[in-house]
């Protein structure tokens, strides 16, 4: 019966990809295999001028108070748009409290940050600028700096029709660029599309563990392998002064210790893992889930011991590597900035 269900699932997935392929022309940016067209907001539609401006702003350290930090400092292309550290480092060497999530495929989510405190990419884009630990600036100072650069004034005029731009224009430009940072055409995507040699036998076994036994897709579902919802996994809950996650935003008891479910796209390239960067490898992540997390008063009901065999754990970690994709690597950091 399970084999029949799996074959039906594969057929449905292939049909979905075919339908998505027919819709690719509806997207203003190239869409890798396995993804759906990016939906740009009505109040911030895509334009090439806006994306090019946003890319420069994303990499420009002049947006920080001391010209030392850019968005790319914590979300670097060479590290799959993370920084490869347990927690991020801001101006003056200050350490943040959480691991930097990847920018890859953030276009497929509304709420941003581990605690979902930003309701859009636009809101997220300007948050770090005014954070005293991250970029240590003010929005007014950012706009003043940019208005003092003739090259930027010209680019804002071209993208938005005005040189008298605001922080909202800065946010829209950066968010437009970030929505072009995509990952698809992974071994998994090619396998689903019918190329059976795309994944190894071990990865195919791991895929079955992922969907059938461990049921990881209860939270890591859909084209981007995330439900975009929040869960308490117990991470860090055994430490003094535990990070309470979304509870600090909503003050809702149901949100005590919960964090946003990240995408698994390119997960093998974005170590370390969890909101605090406490797990260094995918093997450690699999072990953590296998033991059922860390007990606490709000542990998610889905987090229970999995009782996986050593072979199942190995194949599951191998399957996660099959989610490494393509698309974002084509974006090259600017070598020159407006003057």
**Cα 92 from Cα 77, distance rounded (Å):** 22
| Residue 272: cis peptide before it, omega within 30 degrees of 0 | yes
CA dist list (Å): 228 to 115, 261, 285: 11, 6, 19
Model pTM score: 0.91
Which residue numbers are catalytic?
134
Q: Rounded to an integer, what is the distance from CA 56 to the centroid of its chain?
A: 20
Element (H, E) at 289: helix 282-291
Cis upstream peptide for 187 (omega within 30°): no
Question: Which neighbouring-strand residues pair with 260?
Answer: 230
Strands 183-184 vs 230-231: parallel, antiparallel or unpaired: unpaired
What interhelical angle do 167-178 and 139-147 show, nearest 10? 90
Cα gap 294→303, rounded to integer Å = 9
Tell me how far apart the alpha carbons of residues 227 and 259 are, in angstroms, rounded to a whole number.
12
Per-residue pLDDT reduced to its tens digit, 26-58: 688 999 999 999 999 999 999 999 999 999 999
Written as tens digits, the pLDDT of the chain (339 aa) is 434 433 444 444 444 444 444 444 468 899 999 999 999 999 999 999 999 999 999 999 999 999 999 999 999 999 999 999 999 999 999 999 999 999 999 999 999 999 999 999 999 999 999 999 999 999 999 999 999 999 999 999 999 999 999 999 999 999 999 999 999 999 999 999 999 999 999 999 999 999 999 999 999 999 999 999 999 999 999 999 999 999 999 999 999 999 999 999 999 999 999 999 999 999 999 999 999 999 999 999 999 999 999 999 999 999 999 999 999 999 999 999 999
- Segment 113-126, tens digit of pLDDT: 999 999 999 999 99
Residue listed under structure tokens 């975009």: 228
């Amino acid at each position: 019966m399970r084999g029949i269900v799996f074959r039906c699932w594969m057929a449905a997935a292939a049909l979905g990809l075919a339908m998505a392929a027919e819709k690719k022309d509806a997207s203003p940016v190239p869409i890798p295999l396995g993804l759906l067209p990016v939906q740009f907001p009505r109040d911030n539609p895509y334009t090439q001028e806006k994306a090019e401006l946003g890319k420069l702003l994303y990499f420009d350290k002049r947006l920080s108070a001391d010209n030392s930090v850019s968005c790319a400092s914590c979300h670097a292309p060479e590290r799959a748009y993370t920084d490869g550290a347990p927690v991020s480092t801001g101006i003056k060497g200050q350490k943040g409290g959480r691991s930097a999530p990847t920018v890859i495929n953030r276009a497929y989510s509304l709420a941003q940050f581990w605690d979902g405190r930003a309701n859009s990419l636009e809101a997220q884009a300007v948050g770090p600028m005014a954070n005293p630990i991250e970029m240590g600036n003010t929005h007014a100072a950012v706009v003043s700096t940019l208005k003092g650069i003739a090259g930027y004034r010209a680019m804002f005029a071209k993208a938005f029709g005005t040189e008298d731009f605001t922080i909202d224009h800065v946010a829209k430009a950066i968010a437009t660029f970030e929505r072009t940072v995509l990952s698809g055409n992974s071994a998994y995507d090619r396998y689903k599309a019918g190329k059976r040699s795309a994944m190894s036998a071990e990865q195919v076994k791991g895929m079955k563990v992922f969907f059938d036994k461990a049921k990881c897709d209860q939270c890591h579902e859909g084209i981007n392998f995330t439900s975009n919802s929040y869960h308490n996994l117990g991470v860090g809950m055994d430490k003094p002064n535990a990070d309470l996650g979304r509870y600090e935003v909503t003050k809702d008891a149901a949100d005590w210790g919960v964090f946003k479910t990240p995408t698994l796209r390119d997960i093998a390239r974005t170590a370390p893992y969890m909101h605090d960067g406490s797990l260094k490898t995918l093997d450690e992540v699999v072990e953590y889930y296998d033991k059922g997390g860390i007990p606490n008063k709000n542990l998610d009901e889905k987090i229970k011991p999995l009782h996986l065999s050593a072979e199942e754990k190995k194949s599951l970690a191998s399957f996660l590597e099959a989610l490494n994709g393509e698309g974002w690597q084509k974006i090259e950091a600017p070598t020159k900035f407006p003057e």
